[in-house]
């Protein structure tokens, strides 16, 4: 029997650690003629801790339908009280990008998308400024300008949410989108909004981190990609990166160097999310 590339699937699991989890999952997949090609697991404590697992498996051509397997797995999941999801690798996620005026993170994602380094669809880019409309549309991507003011913020977010639903968006990337999202907006896309913060969190939370870093004479600058929650810049961290600097760097030079770190950290986080490599537990992430 042969494998086909469109029948690879991914299974992510989190639950209380207990005996028999790995055996039950592997036996289940074997019963449905699935072949495990990669398996990763982690336990915070084998005695009463949390257990996390990510499995990639292939289905045989004459095996069972993916939808049947996903439905059948519910019984196993319920028996171990799992938080789980099962995805087909071939299903391309739809990503929306939110931007303001800065373009470095946006262009990093668009370049990787065009180079097929990130396997995702980008139906639209939403911005509270019109500045980058021409550059985005040059990629054949829809650009939507939604101005945001204090008096129109609620209406602007409603318009954005309606548009995102119309395009069946799976997740959102804030590529230096300089607006604080409301709890209603964040609650509409839980664990599905990725932000890049131009600082090595938890240091220098909020605005103007490079100015704050300059004042403190830091020797390392960094960037943090994280999921958005209602607590500003305190959501589950996905990826961080740093760059060494010294006393000769001005605030502007720190910004220039920091943009390089921001691009790298955000692109990694987006890639891992697309590849279903992240499990969120509380305010932390497990990245396989």
CB 241 within 8 A of CB 264: yes
What is the C-alpha separation between 77 and 88, in angstroms, rounded?
18
Closest C-alpha among 89, 78, 6, 95 to residue 55: 89
Q: What is the 3-state secondary structure (H, E, C) of 109-167?
A: HHHHHHCCCCCEEEEEEEECCCCCHHHHHCCCCEEEECCCCCCCHHHHHHHHHHHHHHC
Query: What distance in Å separates the CA atoms of residue 196 and residue 237, rounded to the nearest whole number?
Result: 10
Task: Write out the catalytic residue numbers.
Answer: 233
Q: Is 172 left (phi over 0), alpha (psi -120 to 50) or beta?
A: beta
Between CA 58 and CA 56 the distance in angstroms is: 7
CA distance 217 to 211: 10
């Amino acid at each position: 029997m042969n494998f086909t590339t469109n029948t690879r699937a991914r299974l992510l699991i989190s639950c209380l650690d207990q005996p028999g989890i790995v055996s039950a999952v592997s036996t289940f997949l074997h019963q449905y003629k699935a072949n495990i090609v990669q398996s990763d697991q982690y336990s915070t404590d084998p005695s009463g801790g949390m257990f996390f697992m990510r499995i990639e498996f292939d289905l045989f051509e004459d095996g069972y339908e993916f939808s049947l397997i996903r439905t059948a797995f519910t019984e196993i999941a319920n028996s171990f009280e799992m938080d789980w999801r099962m995805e087909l690798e071939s299903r391309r996620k739809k990503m929306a990008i939110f931007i303001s005026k800065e373009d470095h993170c946006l262009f990093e994602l668009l370049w990787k998308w065009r180079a097929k380094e990130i396997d995702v669809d980008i139906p639209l880019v939403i911005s509270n400024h019109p500045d980058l409309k021409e550059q985005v549309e040059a990629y054949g991507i829809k650009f939507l300008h939604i101005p945001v003011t204090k008096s129109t913020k609620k209406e602007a977010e409603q318009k954005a949410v309606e548009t995102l639903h119309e395009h069946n968006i799976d997740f959102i990337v804030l590529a230096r989108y300089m607006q604080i999202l409301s709890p209603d907006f964040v609650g509409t896309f839980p664990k599905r909004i990725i932000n890049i913060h131009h600082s090595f969190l938890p240091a220098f939370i909020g605005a103007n981190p490079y100015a704050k870093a300059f004042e403190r004479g830091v020797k390392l600058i960094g960037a943090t990609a994280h999921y958005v929650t209602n607590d500003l810049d305190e959501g589950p961290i996905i990826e961080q990166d740093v760059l060494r600097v010294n006393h000769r760097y001005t605030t502007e030079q720190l910004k220039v160097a920091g943009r390089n770190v921001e691009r790298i950290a955000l692109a990694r986080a987006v890639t891992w999310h697309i590849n279903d490599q992240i499990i969120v537990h509380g305010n932390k992430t497990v990245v396989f």
